[in-house]
Structure 1
Amino acid sequence: MLVVAVLTVGAVSVVVWTRPDVTVTGLAEDAVVSPSTLRTMAVRTGDPGAAEVLLNGEQAPVIRDGDLLRLDSPELADGAHRLEVRVPGAMAWLPGGGTSIEFTVDGTPPELALEPVKPVAPGESGELRGLARDAESVRVGGEPVPVAGDGRFSAPVDSRAGTVTVEARDAAGNTATERATVPLRHPGMRAVHLTASAWASATLRDPVLRMAREGRIDTVQLDIKDESGEVGYDSQVPLAREIGATRGLYDARAALDRLHELGVRVVGRIVVFRDPILAEASWHGGQRDRVVQTTGGQPWTGGYGEYAFTNLAHPDVRAYNIALAEEAARLGFDDILYDYIRRPDGDRSSMRFPGLEGSAADAVTGFLEETRTAVREHGTLLGASVFGIAASRPEQIAQDIPAMARHADYIAPMVYPSHWGPGEYGVADPESQPYDITARSLAHFAKLTEGRADVIPWLQAFSLRENYGPEEIRAQIRAAADNGMDSFLLWNARCRYDPAALSPGR
């Protein structure tokens, strides 16, 4: 007689059709299966050498596995199929004289789409929402979540997560996987830039501390690694010590303690790919692929110097900067703010990035993603300084703002009025119209980053062709606020700031 048995292996039920001389396991009648399922299917007969296996009426190639028969290269196209097993001389139980199973192959994974997670306040939970069409189940961070009839789902996400993996699985066992980032909502900052040398100088440091005590600022941006490639404190990162990048200009732990005692947050700035010290050491050390090169195989200069930019695609370069970021996060820096996180400006066709796969913009975005995962466990936020022109001309420096915003907690556009040309954003003379150019350029950044990351702009606190005093600085601050941006960083390369530009007591 014909016996049907149902075996449960894990969460998968397998139907076994049995007759005195034929047993087929791993494939059920009328089952919908993925192509990979057929690799687990096996046929057992009293005489494997005499059995005939057919797929859709054609003899199927099989391999012997002990006393079992398995399909050889069992990849089938999506659609309906029929498996037959015939044993000569056996009693005919089914038409055609053999065991027959009808099944359907479905190799198409569910359609999975995730909405950007809105920034979450530290210590709180956010919400991840998405759509998984044709999915039978969805897991977020390894945990199952309910799926509505139309495929929509939502799940809480922790602010400490950084990145969450979402997996959708259909009835056939096909899976689609996506990763969602969980951005942190920045607590806000009114910051000024200080180099390592400026912090070491009482002449430059003390006025900034006075501004903090008066409540004019609540954050200090202190350089970790600057444009020269120098690391301001005595870093223990092995490569920094190997190439002689550490300077010991300030004691990082002491500086952090002093500022935190004042209630001041500290943003550590790391100049990433512009790094002459690492580039020169690598070039002379025989590791030339760490350096951006000309098409002729020489170090690229572009007006920045002979050993100007390191290769954004090289794993050693990336690991070095991430190691500095991790070290700073462990020390207690509240934010890591990357600068020069881009390719060199200039003609891309004249540059060579050894080992680069895909675009330079993708490499930049991936680097941000790697860093946020590394620093998030320390509760440190991650920001990225970007060119003002990146909003409208991302290809010029490989800064794709919407993509970067998915992997940074905030974007810090350098929208200095003196750096815009006449007519940008419809502003006739940007340098003499600080409110207009700042307001219009930041509106563009707000649109590109909406729902992904905060925007905290760098504002101009220096004079170039026009004199920039308290009035011009306040005009930029007002323009940012009118775009819903109450945070800002002031840049002055000389690290001298006029306290009259900032209101006390805030």
Structure 2
Amino acid sequence: MTDPAPEGPSGTTKTSRGNGFGGVPQWAVVAVATIVLLIAGYFVLRMLSTEDVRVDGLPSHPVRSEATSDGSIQIRSETTASTQILLDGRPVPTSEQGGALAVHAPSTSDGTHVLEVVTPRAVSWLGSSSTTQEFTVDSAAPELQVEDSLRPNELGEPVTVHGKATGADEVTVAGKAVKPGPDGAFSAVVDKPEREVQVVATDLAGNRAERTMTVHIKHPGMRAVHMTGLAWTSDTLREPVLEMARQGRIDTVELDIKDESGEIPYGSAVPEANRIGAVKNYYDAREAIDQLHGMGVRVVGRLVAFKDPVLGEASWREGHPERVVQTSGGQPWSSGYGDFAFTNFADPAVQKYNIDIAAEAASLGFDDILYDYVRRPDGGIEKMRFPGLTTTPETGIANFLRESQTAVRSQGALLGASVFGIAVDRPTQIAQDIPQMAKYVDYIAPMVYPSHWGPGEFGVADPNTAPYDIVRRSLDKFAQAVAGTDVQIIPWLQDFSLGASYGPAEVGAQIDAARDGGMPSYLLWAPNCRYHGEALVPQKP
């Protein structure tokens, strides 16, 4: 018989709760068991789960083919040392870089690929797990379409570049970013175009397409006569030229800014020119320019480039023989021009000297800079040395003009190059390749003097007595040489007697020949700076 249950204070009967294990409350037992199960579950999940893997350097957009070989794709995991990398199912070489595995697979082909990262599980007998990531390789550059040339009406005038860049994400025009439309079309205004405008199209993968647009300025034309620096200081020689300008017979005067003797006849401030004694101060350039501009006359500065005995002799005597054209024996080239006469067009110091003078003259207000003697000496090239020349002489001359045009244009002037008549079909004889040179000047000025052609040239038996025929036929060849470009031909014509007497009729015949060939502009050359003005037809401004 059992004892009755004890009564409570109010007379009710007490019931006893379970004590669990060893007197521990049942709820505590349940709580502990739950925690144990959670911990155990965590470790089981850790054993079964994939390692924490991170892939860097593989964006969602397409990448270039070298992205899989240059180490830019890097894998990070907790077990880097035992991680295996597969590309399209094949193992690829890797290297450890800062705790990561850098991928060095061979460049992949265009298209979709799979990168797989295989990592061991925490417990070896559970095997490994893998993480995959698809990506696209695109090595094709955008298709960029622009014109070859830009044609502002005047120097410094803004130009608008129109084009299409199919497949591009971004386009830059002269360094300015432009967003192409859905069809790739774009346009951009270049406020102050230089000699060239670069257009670059880039896609998301980083592929680039580049085009260079040449800025061609249409020369306003000229009817010019040449004057030396000393001739300009002579009232007897200067006044007839000014009178021709007043009568509308000429609209341009060409003045020497460095002549065949290497002298600079105006007060140049170029340090090297002053140091070697080239500056002579025969005339005031600023005063002459102001006077002629005040009459509505353009002013062209003639710069004799590489026939420069002043710079040549100074260079040789100061221990810079590389600045002088040399014989095969290492002596200064002469060949009838005089000692140290020809400086080396391939030498950077010689180039800089001439470009500095050209840029200074342009900054003073000369409308054009017209190079003369922008060539090598005539004669057998096998007997000459041009220290530092790494290309053909023709390309070396063209590259010099390229550098010059940028400097001259930046100062607001146009650039021309005087060339031998024979250069049109014999470019290697003096290193004047007309199509190459035409890329980097605003006009070519061929010296098609009738007296300088040999018998039979261009089918003319005696060119010196047939000024119309020889000028017309030779200029036709020059027109063919620059066909397809915006470069103008402005010929030098003869106003002197050499082997035949030349007067107004002969001068006029040459002018007519040039005009009939579509070249109304010209420059007249007379060594004594005395011109047959009556051969020139007055024109109203």
TM range (shorter): 0.7 to 0.9
CA contact (8 A) 2:144 2:201 kept: yes
Measured in 2, the distance between the counterparts of 1:166 and 1:134 equals 15
Which consecutive aligned stretches of 4+ in structure 1 deviate over 6 angstroms post-superposition?
129-134, 151-154
Structure 1 residue 98 corresponds to structure 2 residue 130 = yes
In the TM superposition, residue 50 of structure 1 has moved relative to its aligned partner by: 2.3
Q: Deviations over 1:87-108 (max 9, x none)?
A: 222799xx99423445454545
Q: What is the deviation of 1:209?
A: 1.1
Report how far residue 290 of structure 1 moved.
0.8
1:22 aligns with 2:53: yes
Query: 2:149 is matched with which residue: 111, 114, 117?
Result: 117
Q: CA deviation at 1:83?
A: 3.4
Cα pair 2:80 2:99 within 8 Å, conserved? yes
Q: Per the alignment, do residues 221 and 393 of structure 1 end up closer, same or farther by CA in structure 2, a change over 3 Å counting?
A: same
2:30 matched to which residue of 1?
A: none
Which residue does 1:472 correspond to in 2? 506
Q: Distance in 1 between matches of 2:438 and 2:359?
A: 20
More divergent stretch after superposition (448-457 vs 193-202): 448-457
1:421 is aligned, of 449, 454, 464, to 454
In terms of Rg, which structure is larger? 2
**Of 244-253 and 439-448, the range deviating more from structure 2:** 439-448
* Change in 2 beyond 3 A, CA 1:303/1:208: same
Structure 1 distance, partners of 2:510, 2:469, is: 8
> Is the counterpart of residue 430 in structure 1 residue 456 in structure 2?
no
Q: Does 1:444 align with 2:477?
A: yes
Q: Give the Cα separation in 2 of the matches to 1:190 and 1:223.
A: 17
Give the corresponding residue for 1:46.
Answer: 78
Note if contact 1:118-1:183 (Cα within 8 Å) is conserved in structure 2.
Answer: yes
Quote the offset at 1:305 in angstroms: 1.5
Structure 1 pair 78–493 and aligned structure 2 pair: CA distance change class (3 A): farther
Q: Which of the numbers 228, 231, 252 marks the counterpart of 1:198?
A: 231
Give the conservation status (yes or no) of the 8 Å contact 2:224–2:250.
Answer: yes
Contact residue 160 and residue 379 of structure 1 kept, 8 A: no
Question: Is this contact kept in 1: 2:65–2:110, CA < 8 A?
Answer: no
CA–CA separation in structure 1 for the residues paired with 2:122 and 2:421: 80
Distance 1:397 1:469 in 2: 31
Root-mean-square deviation over aligned CA pairs: 2.8
Bigger mean CA deviation after superposition, 138-147 or 316-325? 138-147
Check if 1:33 corresponds to 2:64.
yes
1:65 maps to 97
Q: Following TM superposition, by how much is the alpha carbon of 1:131 offset from its aligned partner in structure 2, in angstroms?
A: 7.6
The alpha carbon displacement at 1:488 in A equals 0.7
Name the CA shift for 1:395/1:222 in 2 (closer, same or farther; >3 Å). Answer: same
Is the deviation greater in 296-305 or in 190-199? 296-305
CA displacement, residues 189-236 of structure 1 (integer Å, 9 cap, x when unaligned): 110001111112222111111111111111100000011111111211
SS of residue paired to 2:279: coil
Unmatched 5+ residue regions in structure 2? 1-49
- Overall identity of the aligned pairs, in %: 54
Alignment of 1:175-186 (within 5 A): 175-186=208-219
| Residues in 2 aligned to 1:429 and 1:313: alpha-carbon distance in whole angstroms | 37
Contact 2:84–2:119 under 8 Å retained in 1: yes
Please say if residues 251 and 298 of structure 2, whose CA atoms lie closer than 8 Å, have aligned partners that are also in contact.
yes
Aligned residues: 484
Whether the 8 Å contact between 2:438 and 2:487 is mirrored in structure 1 is yes
**3-state SS, counterpart of residue 473 of structure 2:** helix
> 2:319 maps to which residue?
286
Q: Do residues 393 (structure 1) and 393 (structure 2) align?
A: no
The residue aligned with 1:503 is 537
1:261 pairs with 2:297:
no
Paired residue type of 1:194: M
SS at 1:336's partner residue?
Answer: strand
Change in CA separation of 1:91 and 1:165 when aligned onto 2, cut-off 3 Å: farther
d(CA) in 2 for partners of 1:445, 1:463? 24
TM-score by length of 2: 0.82
Secondary structure of the corresponding residue to residue 247 of structure 1 = strand
Q: Which residue of 1 is the match for residue 346 of structure 2?
A: 313
Displacement of 1:458 in angstroms is 0.8
* Deviation for aligned residue 1:333: 0.7
Structure 1 unaligned spans of 5+? 1-18
With over 3 angstroms needed to count, the CA separation of the structure-2 counterparts of 1:137 and 1:259, relative to structure 1, is: same
Q: Measure how far apart 1:245 and its partner are.
A: 0.7
Deviation string 1:151-190 (CA, Å, 9 cap, x unpaired) is 8877665574322112133453122334322021111111
SS of 1:232's partner is strand
Matched residue, 1:226:
259
Contact 1:474 1:501 (8 Å CA) reproduced = yes
* Structure 2 CA distance for aligned equivalents of residues 209 and 460 of structure 1: 20
Give the Cα separation in 2 of the matches to 1:145 and 1:399: 42
Inter-CA distance 152–324: structure 2 relative to 1 (3 Å threshold): same
